[in-house]
Copies of this chain bind each other. A is one copy, B any other.
Amino acid sequence: MKERIQAEAERLFWKYGVRSVTMEDIAKELGISKKTIYQHFTDKEQILYQVMLDKMVKNQSEMECMAIQTDNPVEEILHVLTVMQKQADKVSPNLLIDIKRYYPQAFTLFRQYKEQRIIQSILENIQKGVAQGLYRPDINPVIMARLRVEQIELAFNSDIFPTDQYSMLEIQHELTHHFVRGMLTEKGFINYNHYVNHHKYDNNEYQADDTDLAAQSAE
């Protein structure tokens, strides 16, 4: 039952954010009583905490898997966008905003994850890219990894990117491509253009970009 509650809470949090989802809502969706939920969790934040913890472990495994499957750091970093695109209709822009504002324990968990795991994955990606001659040898990998991890949070900041003006996906697309391009060597650009052209039909939404990139690589 604990797993079912968690799975349903995750679905609702991702769809509507955390604040507007009540224990009542979760119980109703599962056809159980609130009392049953309270047998497993003390409050909503505890469910959220557990959901995030499991999600992070899963994400970490996926990232490690991805790093093993492809030996190409450019592909690896851009692949994140494809994953996001697939999940995009499931994730409410309120999710991280709610967590940041109203659920300090869960936000601390996210912060720790960001500090310890995400930044480490990015750093390894950058070091691999430099070693393979795809990223410039003159970048400072630690500063770049830090910049990238801050950008992830930036995209979720609705004061900076109002959710009624931009879609999360549009911002992530823009920031991720800009981040990668800023590090590329000439050899890296060949790789990058190859990946982008190869994936142009995956992302109809960004057809305009991809056409331009294709044109550029054909020059």
| Interface residues, chain A, with chain B CB atoms under 8 Å away | 136-140, 143-144, 146-147, 150-151, 154, 160-161, 166, 170-171, 174-175, 177-186, 208-209, 212-213, 216, 219
CB distance from A184 to the nearest CB of B (A): 8
Cross-chain pairs A/B with CB under 8 angstroms, 20 sampled: A136-B212, A138-B213, A139-B174, A140-B170, A140-B174, A143-B161, A143-B175, A144-B178, A147-B151, A147-B174, A147-B175, A147-B178, A150-B160, A177-B182, A178-B183, A179-B182, A180-B182, A181-B182, A181-B184, A185-B216
Residues of B contacting A175 in the complex (Cβ-Cβ under 8 angstroms): 143, 147
Does more than half of chain A's interface fall in helix, strand or loop, or is it mixed? helix
Q: Is the CB of B208 within 8 A of A138?
A: yes
Interface pair A178/B174, CB less than 8 Å apart: no
Chain B residues with CB below 8 A from A170, complex form: 140, 143
Q: A150-B154, A160-B150, A182-B181 are in contact. Are A174 and B137 (CB under 8 A)?
A: no
Besides A138-B208, A140-B170, A147-B174, 7 other CB < 8 A contacts? A143-B161, A143-B166, A143-B170, A146-B161, A178-B179, A181-B181, A182-B182
Selected from B140, B174, B186, the residue in CB contact (under 8 A) with A216 is B186
Protomer copies: 2
Chain B residue nearest to A208 (CB atoms) is B138
Counting from the closest, the 6 A-B pairs by CB-CB distance are A182-B182, A178-B182, A138-B212, A138-B209, A181-B182, A143-B174
Q: A106 to B174, alpha carbons, bound, how many Å?
A: 32
The closest CB in chain B to the CB of A151 belongs to B147
User: Nearest Cβ in chain B — how far from A44, in angstroms?
Assistant: 29
Instruction: Check A212 against B182 for contact (C-beta < 8 Å).
Output: no
Contact call B139/A178, Cβ cutoff below 8 A: yes
Residues of B within 8 A of A150 (CB): 154, 160
Provide the bound-state CA to CA distance between A25 and B180, in Å.
48
Shortest Cβ distance from residue A141 to the other chain B in the assembled complex, whole angstroms: 10
With both chains docked as a complex, state the minimum distance between the C-beta of A45 and any C-beta of chain B, in angstroms: 24
